Each structure stands twice: as C-alpha cells, then as structure tokens.
Structure 1
Amino acid sequence: MDDLAQLTEANQQFRGYGLVRSARLAQTKKGDPFYNLTIARGKTEIPVKVWSDHIHGREDEVKQMLQEGKVIFLEGDTSTYQDQLQMTARAFRAAEEDEYDIAEFLETPPEPIEALQEELEGYLQQITDPLLAEIVTSIYAKYKKPFSTYPAATNNHHSFVGGLLYHTVCMLRLGMDVSTRYPAVNKDFIIGGITLHDASKVMEYTSHIAPAYSVPGEFIGHISMSSMLVDREVQRILAGRGENAKLTKLEQEAVYQLQHCILSHHGRMEWGSPVEPKTLEAHIIHLIDMIDSRVNMAERGLDGAPEGEFTKVFPLGKLYKPMSGDD
C-alpha cells in the first residue's frame, strides 16, 4: 500500500509518504529508546512505532528527521493493539522537497476558507454595542491569518488546518439560531463570546501544520490568554480616549460579561474553566461548544468505519454507524 487511507487491518505492508503529526521519544522497560509517531495524510492518521534498532547509531539524524511537520518516506507493517490499528516501521528517510506537495498531507475544512471568513465577518457586523464591536472586530482583524489556518485542537476535534475558523463559524450558526428562538438571549455576547472563546489558540499552539503546545500555551492556556486579549483592547481604547479615561459602568459590565463567556466556556473548573457559567449566554456558549466538538468527533471517528457496526471513537466511546440502505 502507498496510501495511508488503504490501511484498514493487520498484516498490511506500507511503502509511501506521511506527515509527522507528532513524535515522542520514549524508553522501553529495558531502557532502550523508541519513538511513538503519528503519521498522517489528509484525514487519515496512524500511530507508528520506531524501535531502537532503527535508532541506534543514527540518533541525531533520526531526531532531525522525526520532527512534527516533517514529511518522511516510510516502510512498515500494520498490526493491532487494544483494537487500534498501528504500524511498525521497517525503514524510513526524510522526503526530498521535490517528492511531495505539503497540501496533499493537510486536512482542511469541508467549506472554503474564504467563505467561512466572509460569514464570520458578517456576524461581527451584527454586534450592536459599539465597545464590544470594536473589541471583538479588532482582535479578529489582528489575528485573521492564523485564526483562519490554525486548528481548534491538537487532536480529537477540528484538529486540521482551518479547524479553528470552521469550529467558530459552526458555533456561530448554532448560537444565532438559539438567539433567534429565545429573545432573552443577548446576541452581542453570543457573537463576541463565540468568536473569541478559542482565539488565543493561535498562540497556544506552535504551528498550523503539526501543532504542539507553545510555552505560553503550557503556562497560561488559551482560555486565560483570550480574556487577556480583551483586556488589552480595552486599555488600547481607553488610551485613545485620553488621559485618565475610564469605562462607564455599563461598558465595564459588558466587558466583564464578554470575558466571562470566554473564561467559562469549558463549563466546569475540572474541565479547565477558571470560572463556571453564570450568565445565560455563557451557558449557551458552553453547550454549543460541547455540541459542535462532539459532532465533529463523531463524524471524523465514523468516517470510513463499517456500517451496521459499533466503532470505538475516542473520547466518546463506542458509536454505531447506521446502515445506509443502499443494498
């Protein structure tokens, strides 16, 4: 097989190219070094083991080769471990630049990036509060390019190029629908909170091709950093108003509510939120985030799975893929 998508069962042989999505050096119980890799092409990913006999004597070369974001030429054999397909490497080398097109290895959203950008910017124009509109629009404008290319997660959901933008737009669609059905919902906080809830993932991750956690991502995390972005915009706006300028009481409350929507969107403290939802809009954003992430997990996990059977989809557990009825 020369395409990772063709690998479906144990005892298959692979000889082809793959993108190193993750690479972790580990040790066996005997102290021998080995690598845990995740090799990808488009939507397809497979764990790969590189044992010590392929590392010994070429440690520096292998370390340079097996880096996240690099494309390698790989030969290996498939097997199963705990009901999950994996591969053991027999040989590998760095791919030459003229041997591949990086775009062929990157998964992208099911909708064009430009259309998603246009849709999001249309929602931003619907924010009626002038201060909130300026804060949210300014942050989006500053980070538009990485916001449109970075993933929404390193794995599990929307972990592909443009995943952050796609996840945000999908949430905005749900949020606007909920706002239309329930007049008590403040659309400004729905639009602003959703747009900014994951905005700092462009700083939490190291790249859009093979994202790992950055230093500020590890130390602070995207939730707190996104709230910090709001505060920085407020300080910029106040500086433009003149010396000793302050927000009005209503403006300050609006800023607090926007930051609260960001800070509470994971729902519970044990899930990473510094605070739990205390406004209607914060509860809605948390629930919509849960819905959209789980739908994406299920869709990607069942893509290519056999119909009429249960398939393990991490972290959702076993999911059933209905039969299509084409027979």
Structure 2
Amino acid sequence: MTKKIYEHEIDDGFEIYVLIKSADVRLAKNGKKFIAFTFQDRSGQIDGKYWDAKEEDIKQFVPGQVVVVTGKRELYQNNPQLRISKLRLAREGEPNSPELYMESAPLKSEEMVEEVSQILFEITSAPINRIVRHILKKYQVEFFEYPAAKRHHHAFVGGLGYHTVSILRLAKTVLENYPAVNRSLLYGGIILHDIGKTIELSGSMSTEYTLKGNLIGHIVLIDEEITKACGLLNIDEDNEEVILLKHIVLAHHGKMEFGSPVVPHLLEAEIIHHLDNLDASINMIDTALLRTTPGTFGERIFGLENRTFYKPKFTQPTEE
C-alpha cells in the first residue's frame, strides 16, 4: 500500500490509504443514498462514489478521516475516478494522520512570508502600504496556510500564499517592460486580491465554503476589510489611492458574470485580472498534465471550459 493515487495506471486495482476531503450524501435514481467522495493524497485529488451507503457509513466516512480504499482507478467522461469495492477507516497503528495525505505548496511558509515582506518595501504609497500591512498582519497565518480554492487551482496547503507569490513574480516582469504601471497599485492589489479567501474558506483541511463565503464571497469581503482598515488607521476612505485599490480588488475577476461587481477601468486592474487568470490556468493545466501519459490528452478541466490538454512526447533538450 505504498503507491499514491496517481502512481497507479488506469484500470489498476489497488488498496490505498487516502484522506476524505469531501463527502456529499446524495440520492440515486433508485431512491437509495450514496456518498460522492473526493479523496486526496499528496499526488492529488480524485472522486469516487460509494453506492448504497448505510447510515453508519454516512456517520463514519466524513471529511478529515483517513480511509483504506479497495478498488481501481478509472476514467469517467475523460475524468479520473475511483471505483470503490471496499472502504474502511484506517486503524490505530496504520498511517492515519491526515497531514500525511495533504498536498502542500512547493515553497515553505517562511519563504513566502519573506518574499512578500520584501515586496512591501516597494509599495511607496503611504495609505496603500499601511492598509496592505494591516490586513496582511491580521490574516497572515491563514494567508500562508490556506488553499487558494476548494477544488480547482492551488487547492493545497499554502496554495493561497503561493498563488499570490507567483503573481507577484509575474508582476515584476510586467513592471520591467511597462514603466507606466503604478508599482504601489499593482503590488498592493495583488497581495490583497484573494486575501478574502481566508474568510471565504474554512481552512486547508477538508476545505468548505463558510457562510460568509457562500453568501458574500471573497471579493466583497476584502472590500469590507479595506473599509475597516481605513477606519482603524484613520485613512480617508475617499482618498483616490484607496478608491483605486478597492477598484482593483473588486474588478479582478474581470467580468460581472464571473463575480466582479465592476469590470476593470484601471491599467493595473486589467493587468492583475490577466495575471490572476494566467497563474490559475497554468496551475490547473500543470496539475492535469502531471498525471497524463505523454502522447495523450489529460482530464477535462472544469475551470477551463472543460477543455483537455495534450501532453507532448517531445521534450525540451537540456543544455549541457
């Protein structure tokens, strides 16, 4: 039982330890209950359905539990899934600690903290700097621990901070190429654009949307945090720099149908919208291709219009 989920080939039978990330109880057409699971280990997440679930199954197989799954890896509509034949809780003496099965960012938390801290010195607008530092300090622990999403991109421990650091790195290149871009607005907007997810999401373990996350959402939540910060720091909320910073975070999804109450009307807002999409898209494609055989197409990616991406056999020659 040493192989991870995605170390198994399609149609491989196996018995593996995995963590239950989510467990939704649903009704089948025959009126019987089943559990729609999302399992995970450090190789990624995968769905599986447990049919004819009894009440005792529903009570014990809950998010955060480590289980032993007997079954095989399959494809369903070009998406990976587990066909479950047997399921039980991991026992004492077995590897039953959830932390063993959680993916994490490729950077350590302290490395991300240091990188973001250095960027703060380049935010020369006094009100933007003070607001960003205040909110970052308030949510620092969660910011560098939480995932960036429940499911689709950077959905791992530290994913929120790593996503932000990745966009900051992209922004440095933008600033080198386009000197007209306002550095304070760009860096301040990037650091704050998703920090509302520390309120929207429940955490890195068995991530769910909170009540505020479901009913308000991270975009409006961070706008509220900027307003609170202005009050505590005695910063005029009608200051142009504050209004521009708010516009950036409110517009970063780019379109109203994607959740932004306004569309970008600032150069920096437009840039952040595209950098945010670019980093999220690359992460989703990278994740799919990591578990794809060269010369074939990967799984459908929900966040990219259910498109599939081809993994070439051709590889870039390495320099000697």
In structure 1, distance between residues paired with 2:299 and 2:84? 25
| Structure 1 residues 170 and 231: CA distance shift in structure 2, 3 A | same
1:119 aligns with 2:115: yes
Corresponding position: 1:198 with 2:188: no
Q: What amino acid is aligned across from residue 192 of structure 1 in structure 2?
A: G
Give structure 2 stretches of 5+ with no counterpart. Answer: none
Q: How much does 1:286 deviate?
A: 0.3
Q: What code does the residue aligned with 2:68 have?
A: F
Q: CA 1:97 to 1:269, structure 2 compared with 1: closer, same or farther past 3 Å?
A: farther
Decide whether the 8 Å contact of 2:40 with 2:46 is kept in 1: yes
TM-fit CA distance, 1:311: 2.2
Kept in 1, the 8 Å contact 2:43–2:103? The answer is yes
Q: Is the 8 A contact 1:297 1:313 kept in 2?
A: no
Deviation readout 1:28-56 (Å, 9 max, x if unpaired): 1121100110111113222111011xx23
Q: Name the residue aligned to 1:89.
A: 84
Determine helix, strand or coil for the equivalent of 2:118: helix
Which residue of 2 is the match for residue 241 of structure 1? none
Match of 1:173 in 2: 169
8 Å Cα contact 1:151-1:158 kept in structure 2: yes
Q: How many angstroms apart in 2 are the aligned matches of 1:185 and 1:118? A: 24
1:145 partner letter: V
TM-score, normalised to structure 2's length? 0.92
Moved more, 83-92 or 23-32: 83-92
> Structure 1 residue 248: deviation in Å?
8.4
1:302 corresponds to 2:289: yes
- The residue that corresponds to 1:243 in the other structure is none
Residue 65 of structure 1 contacts residue 72 of structure 1 at CA under 8 Å; is this kept in 2?
no
| Residue aligning to 1:230 | 226
3-state DSSP class of the match of 1:275? coil
> How far did 1:97 drift?
5.7
- Which residue identity does 1:115 align to in structure 2? E
Question: What letter is aligned with 1:130?
Answer: A
Equivalent position SS for 2:298:
strand
Partner of residue 61 from structure 2, selected from 66, 74, 79: 66
> What's the counterpart of residue 209 of structure 2?
213
Tell me what 1:26 maps to.
26
Residues in 1 aligned to 2:279 and 2:73: alpha-carbon distance in whole angstroms: 33
Once the two structures are TM-superposed, the CA of residue 2 in structure 1 deviates from its matched residue by: 5.0
Q: Distance in 1 between matches of 2:315 and 2:263?
A: 44
Deviation at 1:98, TM superposition (A): 4.5
Alignment CA distance shift 1:234-1:5 (3 Å): same
Residue identity (%): 35
1:309 Cα shift? 2.3
Q: Residues 192-232 of structure 1, C-alpha deviation per residue, up to 9 Å, x if partnerless?
A: 10001000111111121221111000010000001111000
Q: Distance in 2 between matches of 1:295 and 1:85?
A: 19
Runs of 4+ with >4 A deviation: 324-327
* Aligned-residue offset at 1:105: 0.6
Partner of 1:17: 17
Query: Secondary structure at 1:289's aligned position in 2?
Result: helix
Closer/same/farther in 2, CA of residues 48 and 184 from structure 1, 3 Å limit: same
| Contact 1:2 1:15 (8 Å CA) reproduced | no
C-alpha separation between the residues in 1 aligned to 2:66 and 2:203? Answer: 15
| 3-state secondary structure, aligned to 2:124 | coil
SS where residue 71 of structure 2 aligns? strand
Q: Does 1:138 align with 2:104?
A: no
**Relative to 1, partners in 2 of residues 1:67 and 1:324: Cα closer, same or farther, differing over 3 Å?**
same
SS at match of 2:105: coil
Instruction: Check conservation: 2:192, 2:222, Cα contact below 8 A.
Output: yes
In 1: Cα distance, 2:150 partner to 2:24 partner:
14
Q: Deviations over 1:287-312 (max 9, x none)?
A: 10011111111111100311122223
Report the Cα distance in structure 2 between the residues aligned to 1:310 and 1:74, rounded to whole angstroms: 27
Unpaired segments ≥5 residues, structure 1 = 239-245
Equivalent pair of 1:269/1:275 in contact (CA under 8 Å): yes
**Structure 1 length as normaliser, TM-score?**
0.90
Q: Offset of 1:72 from its aligned partner? A: 1.4
